[in-house]
Amino acid sequence: MSTLYIAGAWQAGQGELFHSLNPVTQQVLWSGQGATAEQVDHAVQAARQAFPAWALLSLDQRIAVLEAFAASLKQHADELANCIGEETGKPLWESATEVTSMVNKIAISVQSYRERTGEKSSPLGDATAVLRHKPHGVVAVFGPYNFPGHLPNGHIVPALLAGNTVLFKPSELTPKVAELTVKCWIEAGLPAGVLNLLQGGRETGVALAANPGIDGLFFTG
């Protein structure tokens, strides 16, 4: 089963087999193998290779991809809300609210970016201090299980908007939500390597966090 998304292609994990269960019925919702350390390293290299071109795009070009992602989320809102409910045990109304928050994050992030970035100059003695913003590089995002759509989305969207590339390691309890979310990014036209999905448990997380090729790590917890 193709559970990982690396360098623009789905591929099977080669690590430990794990399952996602409905916490109420114990029904198996998703099965697959996690990413090995070697596959994590491959994904980091893919993100590094994709970084220069993504960072050089204009802000408007990156915003266009994010807005297409928002449109894809709206189109698949029912499917995603049902998936969040099944994997977390949340009532459907709460899962639907989470999807709405994911959509709203796009406009909020764009507004914040425009307000807080750009070149700023100020006098500094006999000189002039200039503040410029630039992409940080390759970043990892660890997603939690309790808000598997909204909380990682809150890191991924601003990171991509700012010109970074991302390695997304979701909770092993909610892999299906992550997979559906990444498919929405693909539908939005996100270039290969800009967002990579690394499913798995502790071993995958340790391999990603310890990889010297990442420039930063975002997590909730």
Bridge partners of 32?
A: 18
Read off the pLDDT of residues 158-199 as tens digits, 9 standing for 90 and up: 999 999 999 999 999 999 999 999 999 999 999 999 999 999
CATH number for the domain harbouring residue 160: 3.40.605.10
Query: Is 120 a member of any domain?
Result: no
Give residue 151's domain range: 51-115+130-219
What is the pLDDT confidence band of residue 131, given thresholds at 50, 70 and 90? confident
Read off the pLDDT of residues 17-65 as tens digits, 9 standing for 90 and up: 999 999 999 999 999 999 999 999 999 999 999 999 999 999 999 999 9
Q: Are 51 and 164 in contact (CB under 8 A)?
A: yes
Name the pTM for this structure: 0.94
Query: Is 30 a member of any domain?
Result: no
Query: Is 122 a member of any domain?
Result: no
What is the pLDDT confidence band of residue 116, given thresholds at 50, 70 and 90? confident
- E-assigned strands of 59-201? 120-124, 127-131, 138-142, 165-169, 195-197
167, amino acid identity? L
Query: Is 6 a member of any domain?
Result: no
Query: Is 86 a member of any domain?
Result: yes
Query: Is 97 a member of any domain?
Result: yes
73, amino acid identity? L
Query: Is 74 a member of any domain?
Result: yes
Q: Tell me what pLDDT residue 57 has.
A: 98
Query: Is 160 a member of any domain?
Result: yes
Q: Tell me what pLDDT residue 112 has.
A: 95
The total domain count for the chain is 1
Give CA–CA dist 72/182, Å, rounded: 11
* Residue 119 confidence (pLDDT) above 80: no
